[in-house]
Structure 1
Amino acid sequence: MRWRQPRAQTLLFAELRGIVFEEFARRLRAQVEHRVTTGNGGQVTYTYAYRERFFSGRLGFQIVENRFGASYSSPTLRLGNTGLDFSYRIAADYLDALGQLGNIDTDPALALARTTERIQLARLQLGATLTRSFPLWRPSKTTSDPPPRFSALPIEQGIWLNTGVSSSQSFYSDGRAQSYTAGSIGLDAVLGAFVADTFDYTSLRVTYSNGFLAGASPFLFDRITTREQLVLGFLQQLYGPLRVGAETTLDLQSGQQVDLTYRLGYDRRTYGLSLHYNPVRQSGALELRVEGLNWDPSPPQPSSATGSSLNGP
């Protein structure tokens, strides 16, 4: 449920997983979120969440019983003529969730084997990201290029080298801290105009990231356990508007698969259906896209971005 004003919107979410009165509190999940857009394009968000669920990589799903918080997310800032994009986020939360006191194990197997208990702490979190994309190849455009057939806008083809540095610093009211700074490098490729009947669209993604981790969160839900990752993804047209794809995240230190999402999509210029399934998270989603009805005044996303998206639910 959503209420929208010119610069603010309030979102309500509630989920009840079956009606069993003795377990009502455990089966209920709810969240209220109020977002305010600032004059420079940033966003201030106030949140209360009850039994919020987080996917914590090798630690699996974790439940935060209660979360009160406020955050500010900056717009993406272009730094002069450097081609660098910078963004940052500041958040303060009061958290009630499962955690561990005393010595903390960063190894997931040892962490899950230790006794956990509900703890209540405040957290201050600071994050920043610096990225730059280098186009390696783009096809030349001509007036004879065919018009869009299966997408609302023409597909932006090319190969890009993407680089980035990100940092996340978390400070907890018990004196603990968790710091993670990582660099990433990857290739994104979009080949084909998605116009012909068969194999006229291929999207590929390869991203490697590695970083430095210091300290560990007393909570399980935001504890970083995967320092070195490799993300592989593809999305391929089979016939007409039908595309299939998958994306996986690998922990290179342990050799384990951290995440996996399958995607099946059916796209037309004015509408589309997309089915996602994630066997690791045991979740799925069915999405419907409708163009041009103005239900949401938010500006439309470029077709190149939506066309190459491989994110799961």
Structure 2
Amino acid sequence: LSNDAEGGGVIDPANFGLLVDLDASLGPRTTLVGSAELTSLDPDDLENETRGSLRLRQTIGTTYPHRLTLESSYRDRLFNGSLGFQTVQSSIGGVLESPTIPIGQTGLTIRYQAGVQRINANTDRADLLPLPPRDNNRISLTRYQGSATLNWTQPLWQGDILPATAEEGMRYTPAPILPNVQLNSSITGVASAYSNGDSQEFLRGSIGLTGQFGHFSKPFLDYTGFNIGYSQVALGNTSPFLFDRVADTRILNAGITQQLYGPFRVGFQTYLNLDTNEEISTDFFLEYSRRSYNILLRYNPVQQRGLVGLRINDFNWTGATEPFDPFSNSWEDD
């Protein structure tokens, strides 16, 4: 519409976009998933307005089934904490991921992954770039990466659930809510090596409390969910790329979800860099919750993006709502 007001015309290709998703089962243990997005159909700007990815996933093993993914992406958009949004121009490679594996009766679980990718993305390292003038600040390197995460969860308190009826425990939710408080901790180690000889290694430790009180069954203030946590990173060398470089080494996160009246809940989730005392990311949301569906309004002023989402809680629904401009959040998932 803005282009139309400026004289582009109603049928200006820049006023139209296209979003296509692919999800195909090629066998009992093989799937092919992909997506393509054009935020403009203007042929003069297709390179900057196109994103896409294609992933072939194969499950391996039975007792602890691992997943092998062969993937290719074009202009993948990632949020990397204080470094903001970064675009990976292209990548191709494979990743082997483990399931979450319990370690005996200790309450500990472990998961790990290893992968190799050929990546073209931005750098701020002048020694890796050709002399000016140049069209962009991208370089192409092969990245070899391995990671492992050890998790431990300790229940601290647990209440009682209401009966699973429409009048009590399932008045606003698809399943009764269990009031509880638990302590969560994890250690993650990641090592990356790049084909130019650079490397990045870090060890991240995290600890936090999560809990929920109430049953979300009464009309007023019958649910409060909360989380608070702290993570710290011991960092060795740093990545030559910007999209996967560790920039936030001490992070405080906190969030609250509160029932106001009936099916309405409001809340926020925030992340703060304690080294710079700056806000990394904050989400504010309003949720309308019913047994069979949820409607979610979410806005992030730091990332300047919003979401209107609908989730169906029945009929074997396994999907998830996505913003029209989807991206992978590598920073939170590291």
TM-score band w.r.t. shorter chain: 0.7 to 0.9
Q: 2 CA distance for matches of 1:205 and 1:74?
A: 27
* Aligned with 2:96 (options 57, 72, 89): 72
Preserved CA contact (<8 Å) 2:161 2:215: no
The two structures, once aligned, show a CA RMSD in angstroms of: 2.2
* Aligned counterparts, 1:1-313, within 5 A: 1-4=22-25, 5-39=27-61, 40-101=64-125, 117-140=137-160, 146-296=168-318
Q: 2 CA distance for matches of 1:295 and 1:82?
A: 34
Q: Which secondary structure does the structure 1 equivalent of 2:82 belong to? A: helix
Write out per-residue CA displacement over residues 168-199 of structure 1, whole angstroms, 9 at most, x where no aligned residue.
Answer: 11110111111110111111011011111111
Deviation at 1:124, TM superposition (A): 0.8
Letter in 2 for 1:273: I
Write out per-residue CA displacement over residues 244-302 of structure 1, whole angstroms, 9 at most, x where no aligned residue.
Answer: 111010000010111111121111111111122212222222222213312549xxxxx
Name segments (4+ residues, structure 1) moved above 4 Å: 140-145
Letter in 2 for 1:73: E
Deviation at 1:56, TM superposition (A): 1.4
TM-score of the aligned structures, taking structure 2 as reference length: 0.81
CA separation of 1:38 and 1:276: change in aligned 2, threshold 3 A:
farther
Higher deviation after alignment, 283-292 or 226-235: 283-292
Q: Which secondary structure does the structure 1 equivalent of 2:45 belong to? A: helix
Give the length in aligned residue pairs: 289
Preserved CA contact (<8 Å) 1:100 1:116: no
Q: 2 CA distance for matches of 1:15 and 1:61?
A: 17
CA separation of 1:142 and 1:241: change in aligned 2, threshold 3 A:
closer
Letter in 1 for 2:147: G
Q: 2 CA distance for matches of 1:102 and 1:215?
A: 17
Deviation at 1:126, TM superposition (A): 0.9
Deviation at 1:43, TM superposition (A): 1.5
Q: Tell me the residue number matched to 2:15.
A: none
Q: 2 CA distance for matches of 1:169 and 1:282?
A: 32
Preserved CA contact (<8 Å) 1:99 1:116: no
CA separation of 1:234 and 1:143: change in aligned 2, threshold 3 A:
closer
CA separation of 1:198 and 1:177: change in aligned 2, threshold 3 A:
same
Deviation at 1:103, TM superposition (A): 6.8
Q: Which secondary structure does the structure 1 equivalent of 2:47 belong to? A: helix
CA separation of 1:52 and 1:122: change in aligned 2, threshold 3 A:
same
Deviation at 1:24, TM superposition (A): 1.1
CA separation of 1:296 and 1:135: change in aligned 2, threshold 3 A:
closer
Letter in 2 for 1:96: N
Q: 2 CA distance for matches of 1:244 and 1:142?
A: 23
CA separation of 1:100 and 1:116: change in aligned 2, threshold 3 A:
farther
Identity %: 35
Preserved CA contact (<8 Å) 1:216 1:223: yes
Write out per-residue CA displacement over residues 24-65 of structure 1, whole angstroms, 9 at most, x where no aligned residue.
Answer: 111111111112222323211111101111111111111111
TM-score of the aligned structures, taking structure 1 as reference length: 0.87
CA separation of 1:55 and 1:243: change in aligned 2, threshold 3 A:
same
CA separation of 1:64 and 1:142: change in aligned 2, threshold 3 A:
closer
Deviation at 1:204, TM superposition (A): 0.5
Letter in 2 for 1:75: P
